[in-house]
Every structure is written in structure tokens, then in C-alpha cells.
Structure 1
Amino acid sequence: MRMMPADQSQSLKEDVVSMETWLQGFLKASCMYGQLPKFQDGDLTLYQSNPILRHLDRSLRLYGKDQREVALVDVANNGMEDLCCKYVTLIYTNYEMSKENCVKELPGHLKPFETLLSQNQGGQAFIVGTRSLSLTTTCWTCC
């Protein structure tokens, strides 16, 4: 969320919440799901990372030039979210015992992204289109 507007030379006002403030509970109680991020765009308040990122994508015209590109961005986004969830689980459960297996399985998990990439100009462009578009997920948004 921070990088996308900056990459497009747009400003984004950010309010950083300290753990002390969060633990007071007032902000948490004001959040729809009891968690951050919370995003305000005029009179529109959004919660959850992916809806916020997709809103920014559309606002900054990074979400694909047509319905086909939008659909392919969604395919890549959801695939990335699934991949991140696997590795978030690894990191927060039993890292030392699981990391070797995860490293071994990683090429297979990356294969779908290589396939998507190869379908656009033989892998010489981006997963979608001919310019950088947003893939809206980040690993900390899932699970």
C-alpha cells in the first residue's frame, strides 16, 4: 500500500499506530474486523489489504487495460496469496523443521507464475500486458 502510490508519484498520508495506542482498544473497536489496515479515501473507508490495494490499483489505473488483463491479474494475485499463506504458516509454526521441505517445494509453487509469464510474449514482458501492473497481494495480507 505504501509502495504503489509512491511508484506512481502519488502521495499517501499514513498514520502509523503504535502498539501502545493499539492496545488501548479504541482504534481496534473502530475497525470493521478488529484489525488494520484501515484506509480512508474521501468518504470511503475500506478494510482488509486486498480490497484496499485493488481500490488503489483501479484509482491509479494499474489493474489492467481490459477485462482479460484484470482477470489475469486476479489469477496471479490469488495464486500469490495462496503461496504466501503456505510460507506464513511455515514462519509462524515450525520453521526449523519445515524450511528444508519448503525450499524443496518452492520451484513447484513458482511454476504457475512462470507459466503465466511465459504466456505473455514468451516471458519477455510482464505476467499481464506490456507495462508494469500491480499484483495486489503481499505476504502479510493473507492468513
Structure 2
Amino acid sequence: MSKPVIHYFPIRGRAEVLRLAIVAGGDDFDTVDVNYAEQKGDREKYPFGQCPRLVDGDIDLVQSNSIARYLARKYKLEGKTEKEMCAVDMIMEGVESLRVKYVNLIYNDQLAEAAKETYWKTYFDKETTTGRNGGAHIQYLANYLVKNGGAFCVGDSLTIADLCLWEILDLHLRIFGDQIRETYPELVSYHSAISELPGIKDYLASPKRLPEPNANKLG
């Protein structure tokens, strides 16, 4: 059986969660670097003019969260009950709310120091969880983890929600490492534990994990 193939630009980007899901499921993947002109012009391969794109047998998908949910079903990472599946979806959407803010910090604000200070205060400072933050705050996500015992976001085993939380946390640790370690030790312990899981540990140490998380080399 052929491996799943991920089409993406040579940065981690939003394809990181997809790669994590595949390796956590005990599988491997191949990659194809995207030709930008083809991505924008070929509506059969790239119907939204975007990547990542996943080709897995007769499955051909774009849109990151659609691909993530497909992989969650394939590798049994979607939750064990309807209640768990709903919680997984909810946490994934919570991560996306924070990701929108992160993308703005990286690409619009260019990681300027003043922007970083505002970002931390708005989306990470524990004193601002009731403020106007567009529904995005790391504490909201941490609450689900702590409520569930600290090992996994939902249930008693790994789900795609964990991989989404791990990845968005990993991105922020690159920028706010010392502050996160001081303010959210439970998230740091969680990040370390997920990093050691079978498949994930080997992937993180392999050349398949690209060094740059973003196209502008910031973050």
C-alpha cells in the first residue's frame, strides 16, 4: 500500500499537524514540494488555490482541518465516543482561534517587540482571560487539559486535539519559551510528554521535520 502524500511548501506550516497524525498512527508519508503557479492555476489539484493537499489512495483533500479530521478517523484519533468527538472538534476550533492571532503576529506584525508584548498580555497573561481577545487565549485550552487530568485533552488516549494543541504550543515556545515555562508548567510537561510518544519522537528527530515553521523565517 502506498504512503499518504502531503503536498506543501518547504516549511512546517499547517501541515505539521497532518504529519504528526500520520506518524502517531504508526504510518509514514511522502512529500511533494508545491509549485506555486500550479497551486494557483490548477483547480483540480488545488480547488481553493491553497495547500497543504493530501493524496491517500483515492482520497484527495485540501483544507487543513478537513485533512486533519480525515486522518483522525483513519488512525482512530477522533475520540472514542460522540461526546469525546465533540470535545475534540471544540478544542481544534479553539486552537484555530489562537492560530489566527499567531499568524497576524508573524506575518503582519513581523514579531516586533511591542507586538510581542501586546500579544502575550492579550492571549497568554492569566490576568486577561476575561478581556477582549476574540475568544483566543491559551488558558482556555489549558483548562481542558487540566480538567481531563493533564495527560490528554480528551479521554484517556491521544487524539487529533492533542496534536493541534501540541503544535500551537510548540510554535509559541519558540517565541515565549521562558515565559511559558514560568506561567504554564503544566503545558510544558504536556508538550514534553507528547514529544516522547511512539512515532512522534522519531519524527521530531528526523530530517522529515523541516527547520522553518513559517515562510518568512520568523518564529
Name the TM tier (shorter chain): 0.7 to 0.9
Q: TM-score, normalised by structure 1?
A: 0.82
* Identity score, percent: 32
1:88 has 2:114 as partner: no
Give 1:124 shift. Answer: 3.7
Give the distance between the partners of 2:92 and 2:117, measured in 1 at CA: 26
Partner of 2:152: 126
Whichever residue aligns with residue 7 of structure 1, its letter is A
Unaligned runs of 5+ in 2: 1-17, 130-136, 169-212, 214-219
The answer (yes or no) to whether the contact 2:79–2:159 under 8 Å persists in 1 is: yes
Count of equivalent residues: 133
Q: Which moved more, 1:75-84 or 1:102-111?
A: 102-111
Q: 1:98–1:39: structure 2 CA closer, same or farther, 3 Å change rule?
A: same
- CA drift at 1:110: 1.6
Alpha carbons of structure 1 residues 35 and 124: separation in structure 2 relative to 1, 3 Å: closer
* 2:71 counterpart letter in structure 1: L
Q: List runs of 5+ in structure 1 lacking aligned partners.
A: none
RMSD of equivalent CA atoms: 2.0
Distance of 1:35 and 1:6 partners within structure 2: 23
Give the secondary-structure state (helix, strand or coil) at the position aligned to 2:54. Answer: strand
Distance in 2 (alpha carbons) for counterparts of 1:49 and 1:74: 14
Structure ranking higher in helix proportion: 1
Determine which of 102, 117, 133 is the counterpart of 1:100: 117
Contact 2:78 2:88 (8 Å CA) reproduced: yes
> Are 1:8 and 2:25 matched, yes or no?
yes
Higher mean alpha-carbon deviation, 30-39 vs 102-111, is at 102-111
Query: Alignment partner of 1:2: what SS?
Result: helix
